[in-house]
Amino acid sequence: MKRRVGKMEIKIVRDVLEKNKELAVQVRARLRKKNRTMFNLMGSPGCGKTALLEKLIPMLKSDELRIGVIEGDVATLNDSLRLQELDVPIAHISTERFGSTCHLGANVVLGALELLEDENMDLVFIENVGNLICPAEYDTGAGGNIVVISVTEGEDKPLKYPQIFHKTEVAIINKIDLVEPVGADLNLLKENIRKVNPSSKIFEISARSGENMEPLREWLQERHGELLIDRK
Ligand code: MG
Ligand code: ZN
C-alpha cells in the first residue's frame, strides 16, 4: 500500500508541473500579443530583490522603458507598498490565499497579467516569493530568469541549491558593499556559481549604494530587445 501511495504522489507532482507548463505557454502568448517582455527575479528572503527593483526601475524608466511589477509574497503587502513609490503598475499576489505556496506558478502570473492588461508596460518584473528551491521548478512564462544572491548568504549556496543557479541565465551578486564587514569570499562565490552553471552571466552590485548598477541596466535593455526580436 505504501508503494501505491508513493506512485500517486509522483503522479500528482507531474500533473501539477505539466499543467503549469501549459499555463506558461499562455503567459508567453499574452506577453507576445502585447509586445512585452518579462523577467523573473528569484532569490532567498532578504537577498535584496525589492531593493534591486527600487534602484533599477527608475534607471530603466529614464530610458523610456515602461515597467510593470508582479509581486509575490506569502503575506503582507510590504514590498508592493515600497515599490508603489516608483509610480509603476503593480499586481500583488499574496500566496496566503493560495495555500501559502512558496513560489509563483504560471496560474497566478497569468491572473496578474490579466489584471495589468490595460497598463502601459514594455517590461514586467516578477519578484518571486523569497525561496531558493521551488521557484526554479515552476516556469512562470518569463523570457528571462534571474537569481539574486547576497554576499551574506554564504559562498556554498550555489552548490547547495544548484537547480536555481542552473535554470537562470544571470546571477546577480548583491550587497558587495558588505564583502569586507562579513568577510565574504567573492571569488569563491563566483567560482561556485560557475561550477553549477558555466554560462551564467554574473553581475556584482550593491542595490543599496548603487554600485555597479550600470552594466546590469545595459544588459537588461539589451536582453529586452533580444527577447522582442526572438519572437518575431
Ligand atoms: Mg522582496
Ligand atoms: Zn514552492
Average pLDDT estimate for 39-62:
97
Residue 140 CA to ligand 1 center (angstroms) comes to 17
* Residue range 51-90, pLDDT digits in tens: 999 999 999 998 789 999 999 999 999 999 999 999 999 9
Asked if residue 212 has pLDDT above 90, the reply is yes
pLDDT for res 98: 78
- Which ligand ends up closest to the CA of 136? 2
Residue 30 CA to ligand 1 center (angstroms) comes to 25
Asked if residue 151 has pLDDT above 60, the reply is yes
Residue 156 CA to ligand 1 center (angstroms) comes to 22
Residue 213 CA to ligand 2 center (angstroms) comes to 30
pLDDT for res 2: 46
Q: What's the pTM value of the predicted model, to 2 decimals?
A: 0.93
pLDDT for res 87: 95
Which of 124, 123, 68, 131 is closest to 95 using CA atoms? 131
Average pLDDT estimate for 210-232:
93
